[in-house]
Amino acid sequence: MPRDTVYLVCFIVGVAFSLGSVIGGRAPLHLPRGWWPHGGIGHVSGTGHAAHGSLINPLTVTAFLTWFGGTGYLLTQYTRLWGGITLALTLLSGVAGATVLSSYVAWLVRHEHPLEPAAGRRVGTLGRLTSGMRAGGMGEMVFVQDGARRVCAARSADGVDLPAGIEVVITRYERGIAYVVPFEASLDREGGA
């Protein structure tokens, strides 16, 4: 088999596995247990910390195949380098591509953090009505949560008219609708409790 065909096949296999993992959302190589060293880059333990595993894993193998095959094919097609030099350059390219990609994924894994269930809670959040609402009607409110400005539908928890621009507190949140009371009324409720 000609060298350029070998390189092209390696490139196609690497790209196919990469696309398969992007579309499927998981590692493309599902080999029997024990074929890959335990852990590996991108493996996350139950505590949310990256495991320090082997550098040989599905991610690095697909990255290596893609870079090795692509570089080898281009060098055999567009240069007249001796086969040994081409092989050395393609091996270097494959290792570099796999190292860069696995280092980036390891960096991502090190900087991830689990979501806290309380972070998504909206009850007790202070916001401002951007549109007024009639008794029993709906309006819109804006508030800040996790450092981001958010907007949601709002309804008066007491069934009273609320003008635009007042500060409100979310007392209940159901099916995408925040049930709110004016901020001053929430202070009165806490004082009476």
**10 and 88 share one domain:** yes
Q: Rg of the chain's alpha carbons, rounded to an integer?
A: 28
Per residue in 131-179, pLDDT (tens digit) is 888 888 888 999 988 778 888 889 888 888 888 889 999 888 888 888 9
Global model pTM greater than 0.85 = no
**48 and 84 share one domain:** yes
Distance CA 88, CA 65 (A): 14
The residue out of 110, 145, 180 marking a domain boundary is 110
Q: Hunting for tokens 């949310």 — which residue is that?
A: 48
**123 and 170 share one domain:** yes
Question: Is 107 a residue whose pLDDT tops 60?
Answer: yes
Say if residues 166 and 130 touch (Cβ distance below 8 Å).
Answer: no
Say if residues 98 and 64 touch (Cβ distance below 8 Å).
Answer: yes
* Residue of 86 and 121 predicted with greater confidence: 86
Based on the structure, what is the number of domains in the chain? Answer: 2
CATH number at residue 135: 2.40.50.140
User: Which domain range does residue 51 map to?
Assistant: 3-110
The residue out of 110, 142, 169 marking a domain boundary is 110
Distance CA 102, CA 54 (A): 11
* Residue of 45 and 30 predicted with greater confidence: 30
Per residue in 32-91, pLDDT (tens digit) is 444 444 444 444 443 333 344 567 788 888 999 999 999 999 999 998 888 889 999 999
**97 and 128 share one domain:** no
**90 and 68 share one domain:** yes
- SS3 per-residue string spanning 92-131: HHHHHHHHHHHHHHHHHHHCCCCCCHHHHCCCCCEEEEEE
